[in-house]
């Protein structure tokens, strides 16, 4: 199903490396997912590994890959300890369990230069300001750009103009650079080294570009440490010390590469040098050496405790951490990880003790976020709200800090206040897709249908034509029995988005046909969907709904059983179907509880309220029934049982 502008990074961080006490090179080779062909590799500074292909974005935990987005990724970068992604659907900011769209313009490259995000497409070179509003870099509108690289004091731009340098204010295009296509730029020993695929250049203080070396191979990628620049060829890795280019893996390292290579990443982390190489057929090679012998014992134990934590072996992790804690009770990393372990064990007092120790030694917004998460775990959502407000103030009102406030208020069912913060975030940051998604939900839950209609018209008429909002508008039209309009927008969605979103459109078409009681045509569409998307669980829920409409309760129950056997999370439609099946079986108490929960999850489906009111009457809860009838009368004048509801409401009044 559509990911609602969330590229879902639903995975917790796994540490890939388990260190060794042997001070030598280690070599591991992991075959990743042979079902896909990976094109790019990104490793952040905690060794989280991401791989991208034409079919989407993957996370690799050292054992297997997890697909977390259907969208191919066309650029990675980091800023303020957050990951940013460029994709065909726009630019995303990732933090914690999700990535939120911050800009709908698609882009390539993506570089963090002087705390601004830069990217390009065929329309030019763009940057995002602090509120993520998009701007075109002067003189680079409709210019063909093939690469941007942030290095040292400059953003290097390789374009049809040649090689240009941007210092944040002025742009200089280097003389005699029009035929150079930049692969990468490294600022090393006070000089800028510019790599093309076949030549190495150096830029002097006078901005004069000089060729210093013809590459003996086609360069594919570069990275640097304090001592050298690394250069990748198809066959092996080289290093450049400022004078010579030499093979990095010599005989003493006992390494033999047997695959063509395409990308690599280098990180010095926890006293170790880690080199990751991505081969052309989806293998990842990992090389590791130790940089600091004195720190190795602590790092070995801490990394082992971290891995145990991410494997949910909390007691074993705590045992190792307590040994480190006894040596240094003030170490903030040890205290923070102890707090996380005890939080997962639901020993919240101990968790708070260690979080507090970590915060006293090293105050940070990250630990305030941990306190807020702990408050959520304890069910103290009001305290979590206060902490999220503090985080929002300290961050200057970032998108993610606003989202945390809004989602916490939703959990508190304080929908009007959540709507207030959505609108405050829009005033502060501008219109954002993720904010619009929350605004839709809050307007629904506060029954502000007129404002919701206006908002949908704005979103659907937007020239960017976001498929998510078109699909959400179709849901809204079906919920309000505006079947002709819903049919028109479904047709439009097929014309514009069928290639990528056929399944999501089919789901809406089936819902529409079932609510119209056009069961013959619904059967045809369901048959097509079942054939093309046999593994989709929610489609089985719609099959159950279809058979419920056909009064074939036995088949409906079979589909419900199949869905629940697959571990499907209860959603409002599933609960509604189960509630009606319980009603038909004369299990009225069960039916009432199921329908009440369905209403809580989706308050804008009048059938759930109608049958819930029936259950309330059977249980002699006249006031509760009257309240449900009143809500239906006030909000759904086209409801098929409206006259019946009107009569019963007046009888109860």
Tokens 């990535």, located at residue:
99
Q: Are 13 and 44 a contacting pair, CB within 8 Å?
A: no
Residue 60's alpha-carbon distances to 26, 30, 240, in angstroms, are 20, 10, 30
Report the pLDDT value the prediction gives residue 346, as an integer from 0 to 100: 87
Which pair of structure tokens corresponds to residue 322? 């307590």
Averaged pLDDT for residues 629-648: 90
Please state, in angstroms and rounded to a whole number, the distance separating the CA atoms of residues 336 and 355: 5
pLDDT over 80 (residue 268)? no
Query: How does the average pLDDT of the chain come out, rounded?
Result: 81
Are 107-252 and 570-652 in the same CATH fold? no
Residue 12's alpha-carbon distances to 66, 72, 597, in angstroms, are 11, 21, 29
Report the pLDDT value the prediction gives residue 271, as an integer from 0 to 100: 59
What confidence category does residue 404 fall into, taking pLDDT thresholds of 50, 70 and 90?
confident
Report the pLDDT value the prediction gives residue 386, as an integer from 0 to 100: 83
CB atoms within 10 A of CB 44: 18
pLDDT over 80 (residue 110)? yes
pLDDT tens digits, 1-51: 333 333 332 222 222 222 222 223 344 444 444 455 666 777 665 556 777
Domain 107-252 classification at class level: mainly beta
Q: Are 435 and 3 a contacting pair, CB within 8 Å?
A: no
Report the pLDDT value the prediction gives residue 464, as an integer from 0 to 100: 52
Percent of the chain whose pLDDT exceeds 70: 83
Averaged pLDDT for residues 506-510: 94
Secondary structure letter of residue 44 according to DSSP: -
Domain 570-652 homologous superfamily, CATH = Tetratricopeptide repeat domain (1.25.40.10)
Q: Are 153 and 169 a contacting pair, CB within 8 Å?
A: no
pLDDT over 70 (residue 65)? no
Averaged pLDDT for residues 430-444: 87
Give 403's Cβ-side CA count (13 Å radius). 20
What confidence category does residue 105 fall into, taking pLDDT thresholds of 50, 70 and 90?
confident
Which pair of structure tokens corresponds to residue 318? 């705590």
Q: Are 375 and 383 a contacting pair, CB within 8 Å?
A: yes
Q: Are 202 and 208 a contacting pair, CB within 8 Å?
A: no
Report the pLDDT value the prediction gives residue 565, as an integer from 0 to 100: 82
pLDDT tens digits, 454-497: 998 888 876 556 788 889 899 999 988 899 999 999 999 998 88
Please state, in angstroms and rounded to a whole number, the distance separating the CA atoms of residues 345 and 374: 11
| 36 burial via Cβ count (<10 Å: 0-12, 13-18, 19+) | middle
Please state, in angstroms and rounded to a whole number, the distance separating the CA atoms of residues 195 and 209: 12
Residue 601's alpha-carbon distances to 109, 411, 595, in angstroms, are 41, 12, 10
Report the pLDDT value the prediction gives residue 96, as an integer from 0 to 100: 45
Percent of the chain whose pLDDT exceeds 90: 24
Give 300's Cβ-side CA count (13 Å radius). 14
pLDDT tens digits, 311-348: 889 999 999 999 889 888 888 889 999 998 998 888 88
Report the pLDDT value the prediction gives residue 338, as an integer from 0 to 100: 93
For the chain, the structural domain boundaries read 1-70, 107-252, 570-652
Q: Are 276 and 285 a contacting pair, CB within 8 Å?
A: yes
Averaged pLDDT for residues 381-390: 82
């Amino acid at each position: 199903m559509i990911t609602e502008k969330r590229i879902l990074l639903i995975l917790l961080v796994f540490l890939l490396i388990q260190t060794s006490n042997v001070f030598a090179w280690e070599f591991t080779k992991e075959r990743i997912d042979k079902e896909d062909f990976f094109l790019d590799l990104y490793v952040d500074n905690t060794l989280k590994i991401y791989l991208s292909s034409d079919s989407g974005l993957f996370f690799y935990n050292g054992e297997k890959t997890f697909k977390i987005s259907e969208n191919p990724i066309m650029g990675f970068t980091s800023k303020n300890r957050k990951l940013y992604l460029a994709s065909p659907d726009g630019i995303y900011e990732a933090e914690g369990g999700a990535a939120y769209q911050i800009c709908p313009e698609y882009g390539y490259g993506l570089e963090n230069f002087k705390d601004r995000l830069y990217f390009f497409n065929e329309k030019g070179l763009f940057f995002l300001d602090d509120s993520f509003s998009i701007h075109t870099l002067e003189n680079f509108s409709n210019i063909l750009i093939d690469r941007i690289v942030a290095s040292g004091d400059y953003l290097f731009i390789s374009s049809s103009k040649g090689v240009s340098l941007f210092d944040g204010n002025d742009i200089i295009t280097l003389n005699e650079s029009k035929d150079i296509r930049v692969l990468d730029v490294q600022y090393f020993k006070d000089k800028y080294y510019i790599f093309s695929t076949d030549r190495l250049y150096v830029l002097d203080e006078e901005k004069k570009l000089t060729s210093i070396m013809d590459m003996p191979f086609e360069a594919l990628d570069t990275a640097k440490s304090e001592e050298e620049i690394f250069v990748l060829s198809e066959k092996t890795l080289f290093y450049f010390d400022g004078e010579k280019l030499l093979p990095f893996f010599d005989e003493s390292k006992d390494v033999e590469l047997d695959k063509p290579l395409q990308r690599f990443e280098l990180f010095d982390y926890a006293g170790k040098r880690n080199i990751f190489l991505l081969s052309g057929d989806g293998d990842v090679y990992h090389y590791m050496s130790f940089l600091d012998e004195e720190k190795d014992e602590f790092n070995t134990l801490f990394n082992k405790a971290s891995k145990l934590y991410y494997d949910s072996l909390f007691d074993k992790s705590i045992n190792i951490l307590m040994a480190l804690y006894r040596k240094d009770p003030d170490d903030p990393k040890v205290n923070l990880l102890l707090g996380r372990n005890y939080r997962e064990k639901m020993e919240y007092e101990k968790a708070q003790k260690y979080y507090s120790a970590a915060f006293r030694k090293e105050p940070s917004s990250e630990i305030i976020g941990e306190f807020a998460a702990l408050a959520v775990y304890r069910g103290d959502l009001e305290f979590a709200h206060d902490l999220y407000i503090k985080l929002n103030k300290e961050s200057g009102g970032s998108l993610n800090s606003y989202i945390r406030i809004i989602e916490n208020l939703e959990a508190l069912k304080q929908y009007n206040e959540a709507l207030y913060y959505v609108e405050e975030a829009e005033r502060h940051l501008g219109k954002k897709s993720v904010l619009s998604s929350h605004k839709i939900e809050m307007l629904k839950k506060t029954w502000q249908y007129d404002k919701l209609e206006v908002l949908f018209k704005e979103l659907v008429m937007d020239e960017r034509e976001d498929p998510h909002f078109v699909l959400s508008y179709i849901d809204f039209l079906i919920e309000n029995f505006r079947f002709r309009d819903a049919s028109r927008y479904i047709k439009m969605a097929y014309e514009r988005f069928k290639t990528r979103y056929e399944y999501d459109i089919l789901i809406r078409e089936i819902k529409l046909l079932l609510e119209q009681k056009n069961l013959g045509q619904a059967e045809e569409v369901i048959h097509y969907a079942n054939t093309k998307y046999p593994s989709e669980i929610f489609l089985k829920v719609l099959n159950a709904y279809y058979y419920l409409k056909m009064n074939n309760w036995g088949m409906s129950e079979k589909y419900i059983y199949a869905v629940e056997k697959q571990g499907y999370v209860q959603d409002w439609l599933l609960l509604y179907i189960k509630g009606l099946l319980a009603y038909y079986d004369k299990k009225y108490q069960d039916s009432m509880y199921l329908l009440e929960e369905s209403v809580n999850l989706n308050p804008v489906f009048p059938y759930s309220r109608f049958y819930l009111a029936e259950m309330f009457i059977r249980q002699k809860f006249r006031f509760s029934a009257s309240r449900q009838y009143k809500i239906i009368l006030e909000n759904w004048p086209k409801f098929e049982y409206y006259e019946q509801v009107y009569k019963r409401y007046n009888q109860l009044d």
